[in-house]
Amino acid sequence: MSTEQLLKTPLHALHLELGARMVPFAGYDMPVQYPLGVMKEHQHTRDQAGLFDVSHMGQIRLTGTNAAKALETLVPVDIIDLPVGMQRYAMFTNETGGILDDLMVANLGNDELFLVVNAACKDQDLAHLRKHIGGQCEIQPLFEERALLALQGPTAVTILARLAPEVSKMTFMQFASVKLLGVECYVSRSGYTGEDGFEISVPAANAEALARALLAEPEVAAIGLGARDSLRLEAGLCLYGHDMNTETTPIEASLLWAISKARRADGPRAGGFPGAETVFAQQQTGVSRKRVGLLPQERTPVREGAEIVNEEGAVIGTVCSGGFGPTLGGPLAMGYLDSHYMALDTPVWAIVRGKKVPMNVSKMPFVPQRYYRG
């Protein structure tokens, strides 16, 4: 795709002004890094606060008395009893239990739900919602109307509280309508870095003013997609299209925790989502492969797509995400492994440029998450 054809977020001009290196990502021209560089941006987010432009993500509003009940037919998550002012992680599944996308769902009250879906999947997610529940609730895409900013890191709460003191009372996954610079915004205490922080949905026309106000605070630096990836990898978080896809079930992706108890086989509203039978059967009998953490035992970074072999050289899996962890101080990876090799500290090898790189199966997250739970 040529640069002319790439979509631009409302902060595009600001990224150029800040000296960002732009790359195509999910159909958008996005900042991969700023002059600070990926390593320093990563560390700045861990130490203070980073501001990320995630406006390429898809924001969708569902309204109507049946909205929660309708959405629950498409995800293995408890939406009906999701409290007002709370957000929950969810997945759209297909008939074979594969993952069509992962998303966030918030309950705004007044029969209104607010969804954030992945950039590369937003058009198909919208079509999926319209096809299956379009007759049961109103579905309103907010793709052009709203931008999305993520303020992440240990000082994020101090900074945002300067604009809206009430955010300091919010805990992890709480969601509220908050006035920032006189503009009504949706704020959730959540993010994709493993750090405490906030995601802020702001009308597109007001996004640049808010971004500039946040960047004017001494603790805040602009952070690109490069550091966003290394932060989420250290936190052991999945990236759709890499660590899970339509061929992967929540059980294989090690996302059983995300299937609400109410929707599990023994729950009061068991099943009722696409592929439930497959998912429940896998939960019962296990799976032949699963997503695990991997720690290379040498300095060689192991990248996505590398084959994983056992001592005899037989292929037993594939790396789905990998790179260098600045906080960890070394390379790290996630991959799908044959179930016989999933025990912690099991030695396995990645094939990198024809050489065997020793790795150990590791627990995740690789760096402790620091969400604020109150």
pTM for this prediction: 0.97
Q: 31-48: per-residue pLDDT in tens?
A: 999 999 999 999 999 999
Q: 103-122: per-residue pLDDT in tens?
A: 999 999 999 999 999 999 99
Cβ atoms of 333 and 324 closer than 8 Å? no
Helix residue ranges, H only, the chain? 12-17, 38-47, 67-72, 122-133, 156-163, 207-215, 225-234, 276-285
Largest CA distance in the chain: 64
Closest CA to 290 of 244, 338, 235: 338
The rounded distance, in Å, linking the Cα atoms of 351 and 224 is 29
Q: 304-349: per-residue pLDDT in tens?
A: 999 999 999 999 999 999 999 999 999 999 999 999 999 999 999 9
Instruction: Using the structure block, give the residue that is written with the tokens 């995630």.
Output: 54
Instruction: Using the structure block, give the residue that is written with the tokens 């945002």.
Output: 160
Q: 146-192: per-residue pLDDT in tens?
A: 999 999 999 999 999 999 999 999 999 999 999 999 999 999 999 99
3-class DSSP assignment, residue 244:
strand
Write down the mean pLDDT value for the chain.
Answer: 97
The rounded distance, in Å, linking the Cα atoms of 321 and 336 is 10
Cβ atoms of 170 and 161 closer than 8 Å? no
pLDDT of residue 2: 61
For 288-365, CATH number?
2.40.30.110
The rounded distance, in Å, linking the Cα atoms of 142 and 338 is 41
Domain boundaries, the chain: 3-58+144-234, 288-365
Average pLDDT over residues 234-252: 98
Which option is the CATH number for 3-58+144-234: 3.30.70.80, 3.30.830.10, 3.30.1360.120, 3.30.750.24? 3.30.1360.120
